[in-house]
Amino acid sequence: MKKILLISSLIALSITISGCISNKIKHSVTQTALVSGNCGMCKEKIEKAGTEAKVSKVEWSAENQLATITYNPQKTTKSKILRKIADAGYSNEAFKADAKVYSELPGCCQYSEKQSENAPDEVVEEKPHDHDSHDHNHPYMSKTTEIDDMEKTGLEWLYEGCYKLTNSLKIGDYTRTADIAGSMYRGIDLVQDSSIDEKALMTWKKFKAVIQADVSGIANSTDVNSQRKFLSLLSQNTFALMNLDKPKSTSYLYLCTFPGGMQNKPYYWVSKSEIDKISPYGFKDFCGSVINKVIIK
């Protein structure tokens, strides 16, 4: 009986110790992210780059190219961890690894033959750029834009991103569109709910995942028509937030419909202009009209 009690005590102690070890990261949240890599050496480097004692822990699977990230949101963010992983040479859903760092990886770790010649933190000028300048074959491999540099307190940066994304679709620049969408995707992870206006907070919590899914779809697309498929829902959800949060500039919600045929469905977009003469959907004949607006704060 004493032996049984002793064994039971040891098991209980073991469980307690294991629990303490797994709970070293306080207030932890766990998320997943796509991270490119090949082998066991990649696993070691990726996990080492993203792991910090009592702050974050990364576990990576070569089979599905997926990293499980556990971290203390009071001390770091998912984006910051993915930035460290990219700095180690491993492109991921938020950042592309620098070409020079990637080239210095062991041969077995070089997971892609295509790497951008530009550093991932290069700011893109607000104009169409070379569609072949970087690789969109991997998820979210977008360059940083001015949206990345905007303060992520509140949602004004999100509205500005939506305007810029819509404008880039008007001229059919899918690369610029993907870059802006990638910036918006990263930005969503950086926003603290406490910085959102109380009137908009509930709607933000409701739509945040949907909005991030839409911009990730745009960032992943290599065809402007595919990107346009995500715009309508993104515009509606963003405008719903604007209605409650009241942006710094008046915003207009446009609706374009075609009678009959395959195009008999609504196409929404948001604009700062009350007289918007160009549709982001690429239609030959402009068909948009203002159906709602949000007045300046």
Instruction: List, for residues 12-36, the tens digit of each pLDDT value.
Output: 433 333 334 345 888 888 887 878 8
Cβ proximity of 54 and 26 under 8 Å = yes
pLDDT over threshold 80, residue 109: yes
pLDDT over threshold 70, residue 126: no
Confidence of residue 256 (pLDDT cuts 50, 70, 90): confident
d(CA 212, CA 196) in angstroms, rounded, equals 16
Cα torsion at 125, 129, 131, 133 (round to 10°)?
Answer: -60
pLDDT over threshold 60, residue 134: no
Q: What one-letter code names the amino acid at 296? A: I
Cβ proximity of 155 and 191 under 8 Å = yes
Summarize pLDDT for 73-86 with one digit per residue, the tens. Answer: 889 988 899 989 99
Question: Looking at 7-11, 33-37, 143-147, 173-177, which range is the least confident one?
Answer: 7-11
| pLDDT, mean of residues 142-163 | 92
Domain boundaries, the chain: 23-119, 122-247
- Identify which has the larger pLDDT, 246 or 250: 250
Q: Could you give the angle at which helices 174-190 and 224-245 cross, rounded to 10 degrees?
A: 40
Cβ proximity of 190 and 154 under 8 Å = no
C-alpha dist (Å) from residue 16 to 11, 13, 55, 137, 235: 9, 5, 21, 45, 49
Long-range contacts of 46-53 (CB under 8 A, 24+ apart): 46/85, 46/88, 46/90, 48/88, 49/84, 49/85, 49/87, 49/88, 49/90, 50/81, 50/82, 50/84, 50/85, 52/76, 53/24
d(CA 38, CA 62) in angstroms, rounded, equals 6
pLDDT over threshold 50, residue 246: yes
CATH number assigned to the domain covering 23-119: 3.30.70.100
Summarize pLDDT for 181-228 with one digit per residue, the tens. Answer: 999 998 998 898 899 988 889 889 888 888 888 888 888 877 888 899
Confidence of residue 288 (pLDDT cuts 50, 70, 90): confident
| pLDDT, mean of residues 49-57 | 94
